[in-house]
Amino acid sequence: MIRNSARTLLKLAAIAVFAWSAVASAQTYPNKPIKFVVPFPAGSATDVVGRVLAEGLSKELGQSIVVENKAGAQGTIGAGEVKNAAADGYTLLVTTSTTQAAVVSLLKKVPYDPIKDFTPIGKIATTPFVLITNDKVPATDLKSFIAYVKANPGKVRFGQGSSGSWVSGSLFASMIGGDMQMVPYKGIPPAITDMLGGSIEVVFADLGNAQAQIKGGKVKAFGVTSTRRAPQLPDLPAITEQVPGYELVPWFALVGPANMPKDAVAKLESTMKKVLAMPEVQAKMNGAGLDIDSTDAAGLAKLIDSEVKRWGQLTKAAKIEAE
């Protein structure tokens, strides 16, 4: 009888210790370094978003955040890695409208469900694309560039390094009644490198990367993909000024594997909101051509659901067949 009582007490003590450890662990999240997976190459807009956010969150959370670039296959390689990671809040995906929405319509096989396989944490920012060309293109403005594309069906090559740049170019060609040849890349930076070298003529680049090239005087810029002119480039027209109804603005967000602990999501969500409100963080984002446009986890969940449908419509309008 005494032995049974002792065993019972030991079991209860073990259960209590386990429960206390679980509670303590939850209360102290994060208690080890966090990894951000960026599914596009270094220098991309997603990479900038990830590194600026990682720096801010690291200071507030008191833990280091390592950023790893896992580029390729429209971001699905990096996203797939996070999908298969432990759902403990220590491996997160700096995602985009490409990996979390557009790939469903652009690729025949996607190694994950963008809704079911991830835990939304929050939306971060947006950025428009800029239509840029190398100096060999004989056009001086958007109107003359449209005429040039229409006069040379299938001869103008545009590089795409994300679904946004892919759909931007294809939608543009479709809406002007032209035809441009798409050339795929792992990211926008390598596409720009080839454009400058003459292998291709056009890139729809995120505002940050486009700005750097424009300031360097190495490219021609003809328009932005947002409905309004970008404050950073006020003299550059919105493409919709010449092509009514044209618009495409990608977004960036933070997600984790499905079924993450609620306390970890809440901690990340609230801390991210605080970080994105910091003037120094906003300055870094704006300087890179990014506009902070944040939402909470619930808002991001609704956005992803609606964006999967919207990108399907955009893909169809751009006359793109899934690869």
Per-residue three-class SS string for 1-48: CHHHHHHHHHHHHHHHHHHHHHHHHHHCCCCCCEEEEECCCCCCHHHH
Confidence category of residue 322, pLDDT binned at 50, 70, 90: confident
Domain boundary among 222, 241, 260: 241
Whether 21 is in a domain gets the answer no
The C-alpha atoms of residue 258 and residue 88 are separated, in whole angstroms, by 10
Cα distances (angstroms) measured from residue 77 to each of 57, 99, 190, 244, 249: 24, 9, 18, 36, 23
The C-alpha atoms of residue 245 and residue 266 are separated, in whole angstroms, by 38
Whether 1 is in a domain gets the answer no
Domain boundary among 221, 241, 261: 241
Phi and psi at residue 60, in whole multiples of 5°?
Answer: -75, -35
Span 55-59, mean pLDDT?
Answer: 97
Taking the model in full, what pTM does it have? 0.84
- pLDDT digits over 172-184, tens only? 999 999 999 999 9
Domain boundary among 241, 258, 282: 241
Query: Residue 285: its pLDDT value, please?
Result: 95
One domain for residues 281 and 187: no
Longest dimension (CA), the chain: 96
User: Which residues, at least 6 apart from 109, have a Cβ–Cβ distance to it below 8 Å?
Assistant: none
- pLDDT digits over 184-210, tens only? 998 899 999 999 999 999 999 999 999
Q: Are 252 and 292 in contact (CB under 8 A)?
A: no
Strands 202-206 and 156-160: parallel
Query: Residue 27: its pLDDT value, please?
Result: 57
- pLDDT digits over 78-110, tens only? 999 999 999 999 999 999 999 999 999 999 999
One domain for residues 110 and 139: no
Whether 24 is in a domain gets the answer no
Report which of 290, 237, 275 is spatially closest to residue 122, judged by C-alpha positions. Answer: 275
One domain for residues 255 and 122: yes
The C-alpha atoms of residue 175 and residue 301 are separated, in whole angstroms, by 31
One domain for residues 120 and 95: yes
Whether 11 is in a domain gets the answer no
Radius of gyration of the chain (CA): 23
Q: Which helix (H) or strand (E) holds 146?
A: helix 142-151
Amino acid at 107: L
Whether 262 is in a domain gets the answer yes
User: What CATH number should be reported for the domain holding residue 207?
Assistant: 3.40.190.10
Query: Is it the case that residue 19 has pLDDT exceeding 90?
Result: no
Report which of 27, 28, 49 is spatially closest to residue 37, judged by C-alpha positions. Answer: 49
* Domain carrying residue 151: 129-241
Token pair listed for 309: 């449908």
Token pair listed for 53: 């956010």
Our CA dihedral for 214, 219, 222, 228, rounded to 10 degrees, sits at -20
Q: Are 79 and 95 in contact (CB under 8 A)?
A: yes
Whether 54 is in a domain gets the answer yes
One domain for residues 123 and 255: yes
One domain for residues 119 and 255: yes
Counting the structural domains of the chain, the total is 2
Confidence category of residue 11, pLDDT binned at 50, 70, 90: low
One domain for residues 276 and 209: no
One domain for residues 100 and 56: yes
The C-alpha atoms of residue 311 and residue 3 are separated, in whole angstroms, by 67
One domain for residues 122 and 255: yes
Confidence category of residue 161, pLDDT binned at 50, 70, 90: confident
Confidence category of residue 48, pLDDT binned at 50, 70, 90: very high
Whether 308 is in a domain gets the answer yes
User: What CATH number should be reported for the domain holding residue 268?
Assistant: 3.40.190.150
Q: 241: which DSSP letter? A: G
